[in-house]
Every structure is written in structure tokens, then in C-alpha cells.
Structure 1
């Protein structure tokens, strides 16, 4: 907690700089901001800075290419890329932020939360001056200004990649700010989507459908990265912590360790992809690069960090053979990203169709009450995994499937189908025990188990109020 307070204090001081300085408007990449200001003491540090500067200039040229127009006045597009959405936030918005709070910090960057004048909350990403990236550099070279500039280029690279890699699975850049407060002091801030960290323990407690959604969105992102405007892009630091959830959707938020360079090679032996538990052979092309290494690296990391934990656990029985095929094929890298995406889309289609289940439960065993919902405050029926951890709220394809579930649990006597649906279009169905009360609600149906020889829960015993 003490460390967080220190980070926040430093961050507030940093943000305060923008209040005192004249806002320079929306930041952009140009020679003024990219020039090598000053001259670091160490030749090795100068070499590192120069290399990162050259890499950044490649992205800069691509961004300038987006801004050029053809003779008809229409923007020229990079093949395979969508035009970037207009960025609206500027340095002035940064200086007007309120309720600034610490979110987290990593090797290079510090992430804060702030509130705009319109009440919208955003994420703010800056260089972490006390992070290990800068500290290790200072320890090696003894040049804090040069080391801060070196780390700043990593953030600038990330900003450029967010502008070039336009995909729903990449965090949206809402604005940026560049300020030169001193001749050798370049301060860069990115304003981004505010999301929540991807917590694998929480995901494991979520319904399977939500876990599958995370994996499907990851595969769609990796398919895009394999054919991006930069070519095939690999995430060298592929970890769940590099992702966030924004309104329930998976977003890649750390891109500074992304690369579009394939591994160089002279022979096939140079192309071995080695992971903690496996290694894979990759062919060396005549051009001297390992063919498809970036795509394979991403896919296997998706398997070992995401699929292994999220796909098989509590999955619908009818889908388990398909999911096992995906697990086997990606775990052995027999599937490429094309085949993997198709397999995921096939699973989604089959799941949305109801999986060709022949439900044996007869709905005539339930009395349907239209225009009512169940008062769940007195419900003591629980199931897992449930969308509502205080009750039993599940995704169902139809009322017949819901009846099948309810009839298989002795303590379940009623279920309600309303207007809520999941992202797949399936119904969210609430299951309850006996003794519930019905409350009027248009377009909802309550199904109440008819009385039987061993029970007395028929519709006449359900009070309406």
C-alpha cells in the first residue's frame, strides 16, 4: 500500500506538469519529438537509443502514409488495415483530469486511472521512472536522462502500434500528449480504454460460455496479427497480464514487446521454438527467416496460457470431442491460425444451434405463467458455475433444455425466462426452489413444476404478489 501511495504521488506530480505548461494539443510523431535530444554519455546507450529511434521511424512513416491523400482527396490506406478512429483527447484533457488513482505498474510503464471533465474514466499510461527498466539502465550506464528517453521510446512504439494495428482486440488509443519541458526531457502520455485486469482465477469461476468467449476473441486477434499491416506480429512477452477486459471484451494492452521480425536463420536447426515443456521444429526459408515462427509462437502461447485452463473445464459434454481436437492440435502445433480460427467458429456455431440435443424432458410437466418473473430474494437454490453466484442463473438454448436441467435437480421447482440473452444469443434462465413469489413483468415466462406424488409444488401454491 505504501508503494502505491509513492507511485500515485509521483504520478500526480507528473500530471501537474501539464497544468503549468502550455498544452501542445494532440501529440503526433514528427522529427521534433523523435530527434535525439542531447547526447548520452555511454556509446552503448547511444547505440540502443539510436536503434529504438530507427525502429520507431519505420512506424512513423507508416502513420504518415495513412495521412496522405490520393488525387481525389481520399485518405490512402495501408493494405489490410482499417483507418484509425479519430483521436479526440489532447494535452488539455490530460491537465483537466480529476480523481487520479493508481492502477498498476510494470517493468517500464505506470498506469493510472483518471476522470475527464465529462465524467468518463480513462486509463493513463506513462513511463515509470522508478521501474526496473529505468533503474537497471541507470545502474548500467549512469545516465538517468538517457535511460528515461530509452524507456520513452518503448511507450512511443506502443502508441504507434495501437494506431497501426486497428482491431477490436487491441486497446483503443483515445489520445496522446507530448511535452518537451526541458531540452533533454521528453514526456509522453497515452490515454486509453479503461479496463480490468484479466484474472485467471476469476475466469475459472465464470460460466464456460464466458471463458470460451475470451479464447475465441484471442484467436481472432492472433489471426489478425498473423496478417497485419506490419506482416506477422509476435507477442514476445505473451502473458495473461498483457490483456485486459473492457466491457467484457478481451483487449491486448501491452504492445511494446511486439515484433514483426521473424527469426533469422541459415538452416532449419536455427529455427527451433523452445518452450518450458516443448520444442518445435520450424523450417528455414530460402530468404533466411524461420517460416511462420511468429504465428506459431503466438498460437502455442495461447494454448499454454489460455486454452489449457479455460476451454475443457466444465464444458458442455456435447462439445468436449471438438474441444479436445482443438487442444491436441494446438498443443502439438498441427493447426495453424487459420485452422484454429475455423475450429473455434465451428464450435461457436454448433453451440448456438443447441448442439443437436434431443431433450427428453416434456414441457407439459411444467405450467407456464406468462407476464411474471420470480422474486429471487427468498431463493435458496444454488448451482455452479452460475452467472449469479448468489443463485442459479445459466445459459440455455431453449425452455426444453431448461426443463431438462431443472428436472435433474430435486431442489429445483421453477425457472424463469426473460429478455436477457448471452453474447451467443442463448437465454439467461433463472432457476429457483419452491415457495417463490411471482411478480408481474411483461415478456417474461415462469415455468412451475406441476404437482406429483412426491411433491406439492404446483402453480396454485405459488403466490402472486
Structure 2
């Protein structure tokens, strides 16, 4: 992956030791191979230690990014990693989207300035309860859950994990999870949001997020589907750039582009929309393995030269 260089003024900044390689890490947090020090501490730096370029690996994270479910899964993986690090439980004191980038669709933590490697000190359980109260949790149930923290060996055991989960809920999952979920999954989504807000363990959260992803990917949320409308199937047909319309849940602003688990789900979605007259089934896959479908408000002037698509046309009964 090529880095896009940007010139900086090294005389006003810092020396750098070794180098930073962060683009191709598989972990949810980058491996830091360098750090910066102030100019006053730079007396022993070699000329070759100075940096004159800074690169950006990938796109910034924003709440408007359409890969919401990817971000939520990556966040759950990060929370689990931070809780089970070989260094012990790591705390992210500042966990906002500005601390992350997306690389190959995966959320990566790149700003580790506010990382802590120790649990807060305490003399008794009351000290831990005071720390929790200062975080201003909103729901009484979260108070009951967090206040079970104990002062063990002069440390508030479990505080780092709980604060990480709280920050993840505050800045990510509470806003990202509700959008784009099928109606039959909304109750499970709300339950998952509540678990984030109530700061359950990262083990449980990761397990629940993976289970929700699998249900979504395989269409396990679908019940018995009755085909009320017949469809004509036309292999290799496509309607590229024709008869598009915007719809709820679309990953495109200019068309109704939605991932589905099966042809049956696509038919059910089309027959539930009065405007839908056809849909194009493609071999394109979403990150969960679902097929991408384009819903159309008409089915005229199709082409027969795309071996990766099948057109389904709604028939009038």
C-alpha cells in the first residue's frame, strides 16, 4: 500500500526513533515502532532519525460511512483485544472516531497517545464506585453493573474494560447499530445496544456481535415467506444506469442497492415496495457474504451481455 506523503516542518516538530509501520497489521491496534520526543530532548538524535514526511494509510472514520456493521464488529474485536492484551487490561482514555482509520474495511486504532496500561489505584471498593460515578453513566442498570467492581491488590479490577465499553457505546455503537437492520432484527439490535450501554464484558459483546452478524449474513431472521407476486427470471440481463430510485437502507445515494441473503428475500423486499418493478441479482458480495441486489422501478430496455447478473421482473397478476 502506497503512503501519500505530506511535507512537514521538522525544525518545529520532533525527532523520531526507528520507524512506524502500521498499514498491514492484522490486529485492531497498530504496532507502534516509533515515538516522538520534544526538540529539547533531541540532542542525541542522529540526522537520519529525523522525519520529513508523514503518510496517511487509509480513509478516516466518520459516522456517515455506510459500513456501519463492519465498524461495530471491528470495535467489538478491539475491545476484546484491549481487555486481553499480553500487557494486561489496556484503557483508551480518549476513544473518538478521530483516533481511528479504516484499512481494507477494518477499523484500526492509530492514535495511542491516551492509552493507559494500569487499572486505577484504590484503597477500598468505595474508591472504585466513586470513579464510576464520575463517568456520568446514564442508566441506573449500568450503575448497578459497574458498582460491582472490586478493589483488588489496590487496583479497581475491571475498570479499564468497562470504561472502554462505555466510550465505545458513547461514540460508536449507540449511533451506528440501529441503522440498516431488518425489522425482524431490531429487537436483537436494541438488546445489543443496551449491553454496550450497560458495560457488559468484552467477551460477551464480541460473541453477541458475531452472532448478530451471522444472523444477518445467512438470513436467519427471516420467517416463512409467502410469494404473493410472480417473477420472470431473465439470465444475464442487466439494467445498468436505468430505472434506479433511492430507497431506505441503500448503500448508494443514486440507486436502491441493498444486500440480501437469498433470492427469496429480494423478492419479498420488491413485493413490499409498490415502486419496485424488478431487481437485478448480482454476483457482487458484501463483507458479510450477502449478494448485492439493485431494485428497479421499471424493467424495459434490458441488455443481455452480463454473465454476472440475473434480472427478476415482477409480473402483474
TM-score of the pair, normalised by structure 2: 0.82
Q: Tell me, what secondary structure is at the counterpart of 1:374?
A: coil
For the pair 1:448 / 2:313, whether they are aligned, the reply is yes
**1:281 Cα deviation (Å)?**
2.7
Q: Cα distance, 1:331 vs. partner?
A: 1.3
Q: Which has the higher contact order (CA 8 A, sep 6+)?
A: 2
Question: 1:220 aligned to 2:102?
Answer: no
Deviation at 1:381, TM superposition (A): 2.1
Higher Rg: 1
For residue 126 of structure 1, report the CA deviation from its aligned partner: 7.6
Q: Equivalent residue of 2:307, what SS?
A: strand
Give the deviation of 1:378 after TM superposition: 3.0
Distance 2:177 2:201 in 1: 18
Runs of 4+ in 1 over 6 A off after TM superposition: 123-130, 155-158, 172-178
Please name the residue that 1:168 is paired with.
27
Equivalent runs, 1:170-319 vs 2, <5 Å: 170-171=29-30, 183=43, 188-189=50-51, 194-200=57-63, 202-203=64-65, 206=66, 210-271=67-128, 272-273=131-132, 274-278=134-138, 280-281=146-147, 283-319=149-185
The answer for unaligned runs of 5 or more in structure 1 is 1-118, 131-147, 453-465
**1:339 positional shift:** 0.9
Contact 1:174 1:192 survives alignment (8 Å): no
CA contact (8 A) 2:239 2:299 kept: no
Which of the pair is proportionally richer in helix?
A: 1
Rounded to whole Å, the distance in 2 between the matches of 1:338 and 1:129 is: 46
How far, CA to CA, are the matches of 1:418 and 1:337 in structure 2?
A: 36
Matched, 1:373 2:255: no
Q: Could you tell me whether the CA contact under 8 Å between 2:257 and 2:295 is conserved in 1?
A: yes
Q: Is the 8 A contact 2:10 2:50 kept in 1?
A: no
Residues 28, 81 of structure 2: 8 Å contact kept: no
Q: Over aligned residue pairs, what C-alpha RMSD do you find?
A: 3.4
| Structure 2 unmatched runs, 5+ | none
Q: Is the CA contact (8 Å cut-off) linking 1:359 and 1:404 kept in structure 2? A: no
Mapped partners of 1:257, 1:233: distance in 2:
10
CA separation of 1:199 and 1:157: change in aligned 2, threshold 3 A: farther
Indicate how the Cα distance of structure 1 residues 256 and 429 shifts in structure 2: closer, same or farther if over 3 A, else same. Answer: same
**Per the alignment, in what secondary structure is the counterpart of residue 387 of structure 1?**
coil
SS of structure 1 residue aligned to 2:238: strand
Aligned to 2:223: 358
Please report how far the alpha carbon of residue 451 of structure 1 lies from its aligned counterpart in structure 2 after TM superposition.
3.2
Please, which of 251, 259, 265 is the counterpart of residue 387 of structure 1?
251
Contact 1:157 1:256 in 2 (8 A): no
